[in-house]
Amino acid sequence: MPPITQEGNCLIYRGSNFLKQRLVLSCLSGKPVKITQIRSDDDEAPGLREFEISFIRLLDKITNGTKIELNAAGTSVMFSPGLLHGGELQHDCCVQRGIGYYLDALIALGPFCKMPLHCQLRGVTNSKESPSVDHIKGAALSVLKRFLLVDEGLELRVVRRGVAPLGGGEVVFRCPIRKSLRAIQFQEQGMVKRIRGTVYACKVSPAMANRTVEAAKGCMLKFLPDVYIYTDQNRGKMSGNSPGFGICLLAETTDGVCFAAECNSNIQGEAETPSIPEDLGRETAMSLLNEIYRGGCCDSAYQWLVALYMALGQKHVSKFVTGPLSTYTVHFLQHLRDFFSITFKLENPELDEDDADEVRGAQKVLMTCVGIGYTNINKRVI
């Protein structure tokens, strides 16, 4: 959705949708953004949610000179970004969303900070609303490595697990800085060569994890012999504040592409029926097969990250093949146009130029753009 109006350098949007996209791009472009009518129709709870306020606080911590103005009801926010500083920081994430909600932004902003990021985040490591830490470690970091080229100093480590609703988990994220990102041409996804996975169990019987592993392996071994699923059984202080279990599967291809799928157990007390480990394992295995079927050179959850890095890359042509574009990615491309005035050429790599109109129903999408040559102005020149 295009900005409603533009006052000078400030972009003005309405509504709460895609708040994270707009604030992250505001930090990168340096353009102020004003968002109005945030849940103004909700009589019971208008305005920003607690997890959105926590996210804005995190952006304030990693920047220097950011100005944030909220109205009394919280239905309007004016965000004027400062310089990306980075460095060491600690943040208690709101348990309404998983730590993955906050990590997405840090991965997008990390390479362009003045100091290498070293973040300690506390909250929910595995939840249904946000990508889990395991998902991000496999799918998002593999995308980031392609554009960084040298991944020295890049780390995402789970110190302790914490599931919804009370959390209690902790992760450490480190990200190196770069003067600029390289242009990339990546159009071959390769063949799936192995399946890896993690099953976690917090404050529940270890048998839950083992049953989930057996069900998932039973499905995956029909397609591939190289399947290994690791069990992460946590006890005591290392298991967070709530009981639960879940699984994250990663498929790696011969060209280094990672596809991911995950599933978490129902929250105790909120769901009508408890989760059955065998159902969880099979559901995740089928989701991973669907992700592989969609194809492309990245996981569908991180198409937007590829688009961002392509747009900010050097002034050369970048090409990247993805599966069918998600709704989130389509809106992200629109926001890139608003903030950076950059557009992408989208076509089906399997069709002739004469059939370009069929791209909407295509299984694969070839994204092409010329990077804007974004330079990290915050990085010290030694």
CATH number of the domain where residue 217 is located = 3.30.360.20
Domain boundary among 181, 210, 241: 181
CATH number of the domain where residue 157 is located = 3.65.10.20
> Domain for residue 375, yes or no?
no
> Domain for residue 244, yes or no?
yes
Q: What is the reported pLDDT for 111?
A: 93
Query: Can you list the alpha helix ranges (DSSP code H) found in 230-300?
Result: 277-294
Question: The domain containing residue 232 runs over which residues?
Answer: 192-294
Q: What is the reported pLDDT for 88?
A: 94
Q: Are residues 107 and 56 in the same domain?
A: yes
Instruction: Identify the CA nearest to 321 among candidates 334, 307, 309.
Output: 307
Q: Are residues 240 and 264 in the same domain?
A: yes
Q: Are residues 169 and 78 in the same domain?
A: yes
Q: What is the reported pLDDT for 9?
A: 82
Lookup: tokens for 80? 């004027």
Domain boundary among 242, 264, 294: 294
Q: What is the reported pLDDT for 4?
A: 59
pTM of the model: 0.92
Per-residue confidence in pLDDT tens, the chain, 382 aa: 556 567 778 999 999 999 999 999 999 999 999 999 999 888 888 899 999 999 999 999 999 999 999 998 889 999 999 999 999 999 999 999 999 999 999 999 999 999 999 999 999 999 888 999 999 999 999 999 999 877 788 999 999 999 988 889 999 999 999 988 888 899 888 999 999 999 999 999 989 999 999 999 999 999 999 999 999 888 888 888 889 999 999 999 999 999 999 999 988 777 668 889 999 999 999 999 999 999 899 999 999 999 999 999 999 999 999 999 999 999 999 999 999 999 999 998 876 555 544 444 457 899 999 999 998 877 665 4
